[in-house]
Structure 1
Amino acid sequence: MKNLYLGGFAALCLSAGAVAYANQPVFSPRSDTYEQLKLFGDVLAIVQQNYVVKVDSKKLITSALQGMLTSLDPHSNYLSDDSYTDLNEKTRGSYGGIGLEVTSEDGAVKVVTPMDETPAMKAGMESGDYITAIDGTSILGLPLNEAVSKMKGEAGTKLTITVVRTGKDEPFDLTLTREVITVKSVRVRMEGEYGYLRIASFSQNTANDARVALEELMTKNPNMKGLVLDLRNNPGGLLEQSVGVADLFLNGGEIVSQRGREANDIIRYQAKKGDMLKGMPLVVLTNPGSASAAEIVAGALQDHKRASIVGLTTFGKGSVQSVIDLGHNNAVKLTTARYYTPSGRSIQKTGIEPDLEVAQSKEQAKYIATSALQYTEAAYANALDSDEGKTRRSTHAVQEVPPDDFDTKTGDFTLTRGLDVLKYGGDVKMAIAHPRGAKLADADLVKKDPTRFAGKDKVAPASGTLVEGAKPTGATSSSSSSAAPK
């Protein structure tokens, strides 16, 4: 079964899965599974006959299927009509909405990431926000597809969402105007002598769009000295497109492998010869919103020592989902494999750690240093393990934060440090040895907990790091029982 879509928190594999399912042997009447299915039928009949109000049997069975699959891991799910349509919209077409990647967590709608240049991004929505109400009506406990449907609508219409955000004592309302959301995954520009390539997601034409955009940029700027590849808040997308993007910058070798339940169930994806930058220095920017397919690209370029990673550790979604079409616009989204970087690393739960760790603001750095509830794959109670026994780095002091005189509202400190690495010819060690950022003052943290840093080893002062403590959306994100655009 070929996996074509590895979204932030889903993977599309339109296949003859329904036929394969139909050809499975019938359960023996003596089997435990048969007895459990009989039990399910008995309970359904009791509910139909005795519940206090008349019930919709189709809705009950849909909920049962969703519950069965989401019990496996956060990304397996049953996709009924609307959910399947949402998943397909994510990779093609446009729709009226506010531009969010969302997922479901404990009955609440959680923001994976706002999409670039959308009402949600402009309104200041952040990864990890919870949406608890729409137009004053609670959506707690509502199925994700129904909540998403309420956020979609005709372009030009308004809606008010109630947001709960970590660090804020009270919920707050945001009023947004829906727009036609057309995902533009590739943008380029020059930053002085260096190129800048932003990839917001991996949709159907991303690899080719990136190649064409870079060719045009390099033609107009023949003296370009390096490139920043910005994958921040990229929740993932099509596996083949992430492979294609990584291939643009490699001269061969493995890009990623996916490995299923059986030892021989391995698929490897190889790069062709031809680095379009011809060895020019390359920096990749990441943050916890970089998931899935974005992690495939970052991991491949890091393992091949083709690029330095600057920013924050990625989300850590290293599982592969296959979407098996059941017909009648229904499907099963099932985790079928893990993916591994060229060196054999499983990114599941752990993520890709940067070569130069940079926080975008002091507030973000404090959150990473103090919050045990960071929104990553490792935060899910039923997340698939990493298959290597590895754990995600715990709360810790970030290597560099913006200095006091840096305006974080108008400036981009992570990009600034990425450009610094390029100015040193791609040598991240030189950039670490010459930190532009400040050290996060730990006085306040120590006042709150004098033992917090006790007994911890200091790191080299040149790195700009204070101390190390202990530490939580394709590829794949996003992140969650399901992810959907809205």
Structure 2
Amino acid sequence: MNRKYAFIYPVLLMIFLAIGLLLGARLNQPEPQAVSGNYSKMQEIITLLDREYVDSIESKKLFEKTISDMLHELDPHSNYIPYEDLQAMNEQIDGKFGGIGIRFAIIRDTLCVTNVIPNSPSFGMGVLAGDKILMIDGKSIAHKKIRNDDVMAKLKGEPNTKVKIQLYRNKKKIEKTIVRGVIPIPSIVCAQMLDEKTGYIRLDNFSVSSAEEFHDAAARLKAKGMKKLIFDLRDNGGGVLDGAVKIADEFLPEGRKIVIIKGKKFLSTTRFARAGGLLEKTPLVLLINENSASASEIVAGAIQDNDRGMIIGRRSFGKGLVQQDFSLSDKSDLRLTIARYYTPSGRCIQKPFGESYEDYYHSNEKRRDNGEYFTPDSSVFKNATKFKTLKGRIVYDGGGIMPDIFVPLDTSNSTLYYLTLRYSGVFQQVAFDFVANKRNSWSSIQEFTRTFDTPEPLIKKLIVEGEKLKIPFDAADFARSEELIKHVMKAEIARQLFIEEGYFFIVASYDKEVQSALRFLER
């Protein structure tokens, strides 16, 4: 008899369990009025504005701005992201996008191909660096006021879709139909040997692929004889937290703390280094500046608190909050702060955000005006809590990572004339013209660096092209900035030939922070 009805008991148990869960969920739900009341009020106000306000309004835009402003009252990093903006942000995180695989510049209102990514769809179809694009999908873009965003919108698209372009090369028009593919966005923009023993890696952002990219780059440099490393995180605004943890893990021995994450609803987590890091024994200098934030600061904090390397540069941004994305019903995104992270010594380096949202994001301008770019300001830690590194050195919370060796911003050769040229695009324009028939003249970055010096005629052309853009020549400023102008011209030519890797390799030869790091590693 018991065996006959034995199947009933599990069924009854499941029914009672379901009823219990349902009752529990209903008891834990807030009152419907509490949930919908404020939303209804907001909707009512926007409806009234839309109907009665003296001028017409964009109610959707106003509603979205209201959401953003509400989130910014909580903290500066919680944010609402409309669906139309989400794809571009996710591309940086994912480290890839759908496109044809070229790098371009708009020079004299003409879309010019500066580089073609190897093994990309454009590479396979025979597009060459130096080509000019006249038409995209039958629409002329030549000699019109076009913007980078407009070009990207036309060339990017879902993989396996087609785009037709018309090229201009050697006074001939060439038609190409290119099938878009998945194009990687490298987060490592330079990985080169600066001398026989010292490697240099510059990471621009932390994407899903960054840790793997870093491991591969470090392995390549070790195979070339790297015994010391300069790791450049300047101007790196952060990104994927897991990438920061994995990269820090390459330097730290097993069991060392990397980061601690705590939140109200977030289960407190401590991430520890595992055995087998590729660079555990490699002497390290890590470069940071005022724009190094978030994931960059996780790496810098882990290195500093574990006394694993030397931090050189200027005080980092000070972002110690962790965000999580929540997808909304209309495919927009709520990026909400869910936790704080703490360095291994226990400090949270998040700077205060009691000021306005705009002031928070422009606080670096205040640092500059206060002279902090040129002299370290210890007063920012006046009321901060002291912590100790593994070897007992004092470090502070609440205002970013203070470097172990401060290097002031180098403005010694910078003048108004140089800066005006720099931001006009004329360096890029002259470099593009210069390499037109020289793209195969140098087999490597090292050969170019060793054999090329910026010739005087090229500088004269830069001055003339600047005057065409209504930048009058200033003899006094030029005399002061001449050496810098020659350096930057060489770097821009290297960018045309070897993409970002060439540019940053040349810049490293005169960059004060890199040179300071080299001197430290030579001790």
TM-score when scaled to structure 2? 0.50
Q: Per the alignment, do residues 43 and 27 of structure 1 end up closer, same or farther by CA in structure 2, a change over 3 Å counting?
A: farther
Name which of 196, 199, 203 aligns with 2:203. Answer: 199
RMSD of aligned residue pairs (Cα, Å)? 4.3
Are 2:96 and 1:93 aligned?
A: yes
State the shift of 1:369 in Å: 5.1
- The residue aligned with 1:419 is 518
- The residue aligned with 2:193 is 190
- The residue aligned with 2:258 is 255
SS in 1 for 2:231: strand
SS in 1 for 2:192: strand
Gaps of 5+ in 2: 1-24, 105-113, 116-145, 155-181, 353-364, 388-395, 414-480, 488-509
SS in 1 for 2:64: helix
Name which of 35, 50, 53 aligns with 2:52. Answer: 50
Q: Deviations over 1:113-150 (max 9, x none)?
A: xxxx99xxxxxxxxxxxxxxxxxxxxxxxxxxxxxx98
Q: Per the alignment, do residues 251 and 387 of structure 1 end up closer, same or farther by CA in structure 2, a change over 3 Å counting?
A: closer
State the shift of 1:86 in Å: 2.4
State the shift of 1:368 in Å: 6.5
SS in 2 for 1:154: helix
Q: Deviations over 1:225-268 (max 9, x none)?
A: 31111111111111111111111111122111111126x83122
Alignment of 1:401-480 (within 5 A): 401=408, 410=487, 411-424=510-523
SS in 1 for 2:275: coil
Gaps of 5+ in 1: 1-21, 100-116, 119-148, 158-179, 351-363, 380-384, 425-486
Q: Per the alignment, do residues 309 and 150 of structure 1 end up closer, same or farther by CA in structure 2, a change over 3 Å counting?
A: same
The AA in structure 2 aligned to 1:49 is: R
Is the Cα contact below 8 Å between 2:313 and 2:406 reproduced in 1?
no
Q: Distance in 1 between matches of 2:251 and 2:275?
A: 9
Is the Cα contact below 8 Å between 1:249 and 1:274 reproduced in 2?
no
Q: Per the alignment, do residues 205 and 369 of structure 1 end up closer, same or farther by CA in structure 2, a change over 3 Å counting?
A: same
Q: Which one has a bigger Cα radius of gyration?
A: 2
Q: Deviations over 1:299-352 (max 9, x none)?
A: 1011111111011111111111111112432121111111111111111118xx
Q: Which has the higher contact order (CA 8 A, sep 6+)?
A: 1
Is the Cα contact below 8 Å between 2:318 and 2:398 reproduced in 1?
no
Name which of 150, 153, 156 aligns with 2:150. Answer: 153
Q: Distance in 2 between matches of 1:199 and 1:309?
A: 15
Name which of 212, 223, 227 aligns with 2:216. Answer: 212
Q: Distance in 2 between matches of 1:156 and 1:34?
A: 39
Is the Cα contact below 8 Å between 2:233 and 2:287 reproduced in 1?
yes
Q: Per the alignment, do residues 251 and 44 of structure 1 end up closer, same or farther by CA in structure 2, a change over 3 Å counting?
A: same
State the shift of 1:184 in Å: 2.1
Q: Distance in 2 between matches of 1:334 and 1:387?
A: 29
- The residue aligned with 2:43 is 41
State the shift of 1:286 in Å: 0.6
State the shift of 1:74 in Å: 1.4
Name which of 15, 22, 31 aligns with 1:28. Answer: 31
SS in 1 for 2:253: coil
- The residue aligned with 1:370 is 371
Is the Cα contact below 8 Å between 1:27 and 1:34 reproduced in 2?
no
Is the Cα contact below 8 Å between 1:348 and 1:386 reproduced in 2?
no
- The residue aligned with 2:346 is 344
Is the Cα contact below 8 Å between 1:70 and 1:77 reproduced in 2?
yes
- The residue aligned with 2:132 is none
Name which of 82, 85, 91 aligns with 2:84. Answer: 82
Name which of 327, 340, 347 aligns with 1:325. Answer: 327
Is the Cα contact below 8 Å between 2:349 and 2:399 reproduced in 1?
no
State the shift of 1:209 in Å: 1.3
Q: Per the alignment, do residues 344 and 419 of structure 1 end up closer, same or farther by CA in structure 2, a change over 3 Å counting?
A: same
Moved more, 282-291 or 50-59: 50-59
Is the Cα contact below 8 Å between 2:312 and 2:407 reproduced in 1?
no
Q: Distance in 1 between matches of 2:72 and 2:148?
A: 23
SS in 2 for 1:276: coil
Q: Distance in 2 between matches of 1:70 and 1:420?
A: 43
Q: Per the alignment, do residues 190 and 30 of structure 1 end up closer, same or farther by CA in structure 2, a change over 3 Å counting?
A: closer
Q: Per the alignment, do residues 277 and 67 of structure 1 end up closer, same or farther by CA in structure 2, a change over 3 Å counting?
A: closer
SS in 1 for 2:272: strand
Q: Distance in 2 between matches of 1:404 and 1:34?
A: 59
Q: Distance in 1 between matches of 2:210 and 2:315?
A: 23
Is the Cα contact below 8 Å between 1:256 and 1:270 reproduced in 2?
yes
State the shift of 1:51 in Å: 1.9
The AA in structure 1 aligned to 2:96 is: G
State the shift of 1:386 in Å: 9.8
Q: Per the alignment, do residues 24 and 332 of structure 1 end up closer, same or farther by CA in structure 2, a change over 3 Å counting?
A: farther
Q: Distance in 1 between matches of 2:61 and 2:231?
A: 44
Alignment of 1:351-366 (within 5 A): none
State the shift of 1:70 in Å: 2.0
Is the Cα contact below 8 Å between 1:98 and 1:181 reproduced in 2?
no
Moved more, 274-283 or 402-411: 402-411
Q: Distance in 2 between matches of 1:403 and 1:82?
A: 39
> In proportion to residue count, which structure has more helix?
2
Alignment of 1:131-150 (within 5 A): none
Q: Distance in 2 between matches of 1:243 and 1:290?
A: 16
Q: Distance in 2 between matches of 1:284 and 1:229?
A: 5
Moved more, 184-193 or 339-348: 184-193
- The residue aligned with 1:140 is none
Moved more, 48-57 or 329-338: 48-57
TM-score when scaled to structure 1? 0.54
Q: Distance in 2 between matches of 1:257 and 1:300?
A: 10
Q: Deviations over 1:34-69 (max 9, x none)?
A: 543443233233223212345444333322222221
The AA in structure 2 aligned to 1:211 is: H
Q: Distance in 1 between matches of 2:237 and 2:335?
A: 17
